[in-house]
């Protein structure tokens, strides 16, 4: 170790701390060229790096220069994934400081394309791949994860990735991206996050015939054999990582609802496609009603889609209407579903359980445009991942029915969006109160600038997760998502509303997440599901839990 006039540098880390090449290859500890002269000596990495020492700010500038030269979003995704794999602090610094630019790359809409191409762009494993062949040893696989302080697990079986369908093990891009947002948006430490794919096979013939597909080249496991794998996994998570939160992500409808119901009263778990989507959509509705002045219980909402997202939104909206004094029956009658067979009505037979509360007495209607003209809704919400469904005719009809029509085109990626922002504003003469699932640029219509914002779950789930982790909650309840929706709506300013934005700007997302976590934690404590004492100032407590990706010093003077 070098001597200097200031004295000898001394390691401020434990003896077991990695040194040399092992340190540089650990993304949670690596600082790249930001290691100081003293650190290079003390940690055995002198000569393994170029001589010049760069600050984190200088590293950010270099990364951004290279990132912005990439010709496609997929190449930008690959560039950021490689950074994530070698230097997590730098990766999160860049994402946190540039959310508008980075979040559409690391998550929707680009993550959808990345999942489709996952086996062809695969560079380095991240997360755990648990296959149908691993029955009986899932606990041992979880113990292979290098970090013991896991608090947040996002798991998918890849059967319904965004609006793209069955992508099998390629769906790993979703939990990886989701957990990156838990850290970037709410400050959950990266080592507390575990992405998991349950590789049950795939029914996607294109993947099965692709020699570069990374998963089992077998048809999907179903029935009791499927359930046994899931049950072993859930049991093992609580044994290996006691108290960890398990978020179900992108499971197909036939599994998503029943798995949520099976486990929600036994462990701390939720399904973001059902509950997170519901909260962000309800929040957007509450923001829209600040503009129209209407009451939620007076709205008639027509959903294009009748799966996890649609019924999740409907259920939470109904609960909010009931809280305004509306009866349960009347609240449900304010929500209507259109699926692939047309309007969901009481005379339909064979309806699955989650559609039945919204099967009202009405003559059958076979298509969405006719349902709009007949029912005259105040709001339409698209969550079926069928692009272009909100046609000019539909939008014009909504504008004839309502002075300020509420139009939420929430499907993603962008190719699956029910309409674009430009279409929504053009065909309603700029009167639409619009939210989207994929990002769209501002639109000028009638001499006025409209700034649409994504009704993206990234506004909701990070704060909910932070609250659950910080309070060590034993359950996540629907009331917590109601609190999250109201807290998010409260963060929308009058300036936001004046430009047509129903959500706050992404650069404020960490502060928004802190407020959401505070509101959710208050419910956790009120319902008796917290296992740590309640602090006097919940907001300060939440802020104090949030990881900040600055480099630590590894030596003392």
Secondary structure of residue 155 in the 3-state scheme: strand
Query: 76, 178, 358, 554: which is the annotated catalytic residue?
Result: 178
Q: Is 552 part of a structural domain of the chain?
A: no
Q: What is the CATH number of the domain that holds 280?
A: 3.40.50.720
Q: Across residues 489-511, what is the average pLDDT?
A: 97
- Determine the pLDDT at residue 3: 41
The percentage of the chain sitting over the pLDDT mark of 90, rounded to a whole number, equals 94
- Determine the pLDDT at residue 544: 97
* Tens-digit pLDDT profile for residues 133-190: 999 999 999 999 999 999 999 999 999 999 899 999 999 999 999 999 999 999 999 9
H/E run at residue 375: helix 368-375
Q: Is 538 part of a structural domain of the chain?
A: yes
Q: Are residues 340 and 406 in the same domain?
A: yes
- Residue 1's pLDDT band, with cuts at 50, 70 and 90, is very low
Q: How far apart are the C-alpha atoms of 341 and 365, rounded to whole Å?
A: 9
Of the residues 209, 242, 267, which one is the last residue of a structural domain?
267
Q: Are residues 316 and 392 in the same domain?
A: yes
Q: Is 551 part of a structural domain of the chain?
A: no
Report cis status (omega within 30 of 0) of the bond before 311: no
CA distances from 467 to 26, 80, 152, 260, 460 (A): 28, 28, 11, 19, 11
Q: How far apart are the C-alpha atoms of 404 and 428, rounded to whole Å?
A: 9
* Tens-digit pLDDT profile for residues 427-444: 999 999 999 998 999 999
Q: Across residues 313-324, what is the average pLDDT?
A: 97
Q: Across residues 301-315, what is the average pLDDT?
A: 96
Residue 82, Ramachandran bin (φ over 0: left; ψ between -120 and 50: alpha; else beta) = alpha
Number of structural domains the chain divides into: 4
- Determine the pLDDT at residue 557: 67
* Tens-digit pLDDT profile for residues 344-386: 999 999 999 999 999 999 999 999 999 999 999 999 999 999 9
State the angle between helix axes of 538-545 and 509-526 in degrees (0 to 180), rounded to the nearest 10: 120
Q: How far apart are the C-alpha atoms of 487 and 485, rounded to whole Å?
A: 5
Q: Encoding tokens for residue 420?
A: 């674009």
pTM given for the model: 0.94
Q: Is 212 part of a structural domain of the chain?
A: yes
- Determine the pLDDT at residue 553: 94
Q: Are residues 286 and 226 in the same domain?
A: no
Q: Are residues 358 and 475 in the same domain?
A: no
Q: Is 556 part of a structural domain of the chain?
A: no
Three-state SS letters, 453-484? EECCHHHCHHHHHHHHHHHCCCCCCHHHHHHH
- Residue 15's pLDDT band, with cuts at 50, 70 and 90, is confident
- Determine the pLDDT at residue 7: 54
Active site residue 554: no
Q: Across residues 272-280, what is the average pLDDT?
A: 96
Q: Across residues 291-313, what is the average pLDDT?
A: 96
* Tens-digit pLDDT profile for residues 105-143: 999 899 999 999 999 999 999 999 999 999 999 999 999
Secondary structure of residue 502 in the 3-state scheme: coil
| 310 closest CA partner among 253, 265, 266 | 253
Q: Are residues 441 and 484 in the same domain?
A: no
Q: Across residues 517-532, what is the average pLDDT?
A: 98
Report cis status (omega within 30 of 0) of the bond before 239: no
Q: How far apart are the C-alpha atoms of 276 and 478, rounded to whole Å?
A: 10
Of the residues 96, 112, 137, which one is the last residue of a structural domain?
96
**Does the structure show a pLDDT above 90 at 16?**
no
**Does the structure show a pLDDT above 80 at 9?**
no
Active site residue 107: yes
- Residue 5's pLDDT band, with cuts at 50, 70 and 90, is very low
Secondary structure of residue 485 in the 3-state scheme: helix
| 185 closest CA partner among 517, 510, 540 | 510
Overall residue count recorded for the chain in this entry: 557
- Determine the pLDDT at residue 8: 64
- Determine the pLDDT at residue 238: 98
Partnered with residue 409 across adjacent β-strands are: 382, 436
* Number of other CB atoms surrounding residue 521 within 10 Å: 27
- Residue 343's pLDDT band, with cuts at 50, 70 and 90, is very high
Q: Are residues 440 and 476 in the same domain?
A: no
Q: Is 246 part of a structural domain of the chain?
A: yes
Q: Is 557 part of a structural domain of the chain?
A: no
Name the phi and psi angles at 510, rounded to 5.
-70, -40
Q: Across residues 471-492, what is the average pLDDT?
A: 98
| 84 closest CA partner among 138, 125, 140, 54 | 125
The H-assigned helical ranges of 16-148 are 20-24, 37-42, 56-67, 73-86, 88-97, 99-106, 110-116, 118-121, 138-143
| 513 closest CA partner among 523, 504, 524 | 504
Q: What is the CATH number of the domain that holds 85?
A: 1.20.1370.30
Q: Are residues 117 and 38 in the same domain?
A: no
- Determine the pLDDT at residue 13: 86
Q: Are residues 20 and 132 in the same domain?
A: no
Q: Are residues 436 and 345 in the same domain?
A: yes
Where does residue 265 rank: exposed (0-12), middle (13-18), buried (19+ CB within 10 A)?
exposed
Partnered with residue 380 across adjacent β-strands are: 302, 407
Q: Across residues 235-248, what is the average pLDDT?
A: 98
- Residue 446's pLDDT band, with cuts at 50, 70 and 90, is confident
- What percentage of the chain's residues is helix, strand, coil (to nearest 5)? 50, 10, 40
- Determine the pLDDT at residue 4: 42
Secondary structure of residue 205 in the 3-state scheme: helix
Of the residues 68, 96, 124, which one is the last residue of a structural domain?
96
- Which residue's entry shows tokens 């029914």? 203
Q: Is 5 part of a structural domain of the chain?
A: no
* Tens-digit pLDDT profile for residues 188-214: 999 999 999 999 999 999 999 999 999
The percentage of the chain sitting over the pLDDT mark of 70, rounded to a whole number, equals 98
Give me the domain span that covers residue 426.
275-452
Q: What is the CATH number of the domain that holds 200?
A: 3.40.50.10380
Q: Across residues 57-76, what is the average pLDDT?
A: 98
Q: Are residues 218 and 134 in the same domain?
A: yes
Q: Are residues 393 and 437 in the same domain?
A: yes
Query: 19, 31, 70, 107: which is the annotated catalytic residue?
Result: 107
Q: Are residues 70 and 136 in the same domain?
A: no
Q: How far apart are the C-alpha atoms of 344 and 337, rounded to whole Å?
A: 6
- Residue 14's pLDDT band, with cuts at 50, 70 and 90, is confident
The H-assigned helical ranges of 155-248 are 173-186, 205-208, 223-240
């Amino acid at each position: 170790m070098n001597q200097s006039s200031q004295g000898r540098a001394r390691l401020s880390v434990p003896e077991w701390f990695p040194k040399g090449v092992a340190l540089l290859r650990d993304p949670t500890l690596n600082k790249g060229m930001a290691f100081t002269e003293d650190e290079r000596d003390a940690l055995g990495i002198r000569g393994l790096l170029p001589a010049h020492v760069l600050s984190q700010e200088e590293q950010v500038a270099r990364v951004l220069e290279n990132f912005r030269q990439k010709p496609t979003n997929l190449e930008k995704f690959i560039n950021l994934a490689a950074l994530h794999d070698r230097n997590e602090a730098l990766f999160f610094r860049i994402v946190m400081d540039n959310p508008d630019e980075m979040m559409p790359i690391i998550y929707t809409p680009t993550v959808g394309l990345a999942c489709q191409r996952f086996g062809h762009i695969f560079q380095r494993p991240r997360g755990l791949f648990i296959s149908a062949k691993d029955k009986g040893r899932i606990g041992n696989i979880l113990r292979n994860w290098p970090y013991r302080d896991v608090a947040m697990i996002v798991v998918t079986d890849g059967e319904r990735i965004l609006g793209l369908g069955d992508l099998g093990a390629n769906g790993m891009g979703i939990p990886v991206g989701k957990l990156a947002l838990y850290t970037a948006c709410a400050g959950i430490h990266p080592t507390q996050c575990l992405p998991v794919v349950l590789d049950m096979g795939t029914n996607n013939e294109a993947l099965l015939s692709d020699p570069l597909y990374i998963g089992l080249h077998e048809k999907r496991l179903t029935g009791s054999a499927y359930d046994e794998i899931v049950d072993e996994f859930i049991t093992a998570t609580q044994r290996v990582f006691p108290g960890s939160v398990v978020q179900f992500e992108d499971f197909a409808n036939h599994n998503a609802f029943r798995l949520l119901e099976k486990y929600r009263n036994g462990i701390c778990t939720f399904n973001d496609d059902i509950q997170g989507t519901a909260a962000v959509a309800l929040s957007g509705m509450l923001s829209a009603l600040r503009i129209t002045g209407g009451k939620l219980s007076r709205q008639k909402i027509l959903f294009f889609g009748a799966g996890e997202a649609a019924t999740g939104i409907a259920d939470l909206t109904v609960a909010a209407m009931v809280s305004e004094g509306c009866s349960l029956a009347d609240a449900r009658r304010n929500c209507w579903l259109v699926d692939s067979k047309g309007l969901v009505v009481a005379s339909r037979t064979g309806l699955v359980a989650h559609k039945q509360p919204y099967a009202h007495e009405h003559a059958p209607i076979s298509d969405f445009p006719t349902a709009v003209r007949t029912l005259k809704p105040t709001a339409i919400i698209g969550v079926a991942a069928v692009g272009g469904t909100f046609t000019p005719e539909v939008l014009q009809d909504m504008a004839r029915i309502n002075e300020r029509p509420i139009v939420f085109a929430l499907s993603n990626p962008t190719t699956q969006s029910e309409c674009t922002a430009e279409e929504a504003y053009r065909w309603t003469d700029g009167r639409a109160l619009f939210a989207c699932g994929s990002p769209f640029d501002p639109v000028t219509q009638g001499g006025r600038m409209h700034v649409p914002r994504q009704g993206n779950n990234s506004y909701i789930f990070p704060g909910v997760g932070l609250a659950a982790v910080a309070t060590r909650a034993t359950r996540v309840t629907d009331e917590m998502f109601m609190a999250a929706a109201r807290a998010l709506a409260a963060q929308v300013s009058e300036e936001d509303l004046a430009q047509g934005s129903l959500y706050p700007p992404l650069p404020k997302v960490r502060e928004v997440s802190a407020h959401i976590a505070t509101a959710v934690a208050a419910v956790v404590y009120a319902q008796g599901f917290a296992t740590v004492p309640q602090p006097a100032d919940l907001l300060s407590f939440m802020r104090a839990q949030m990881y900040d990706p600055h480099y630590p010093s590894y030596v003392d003077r």
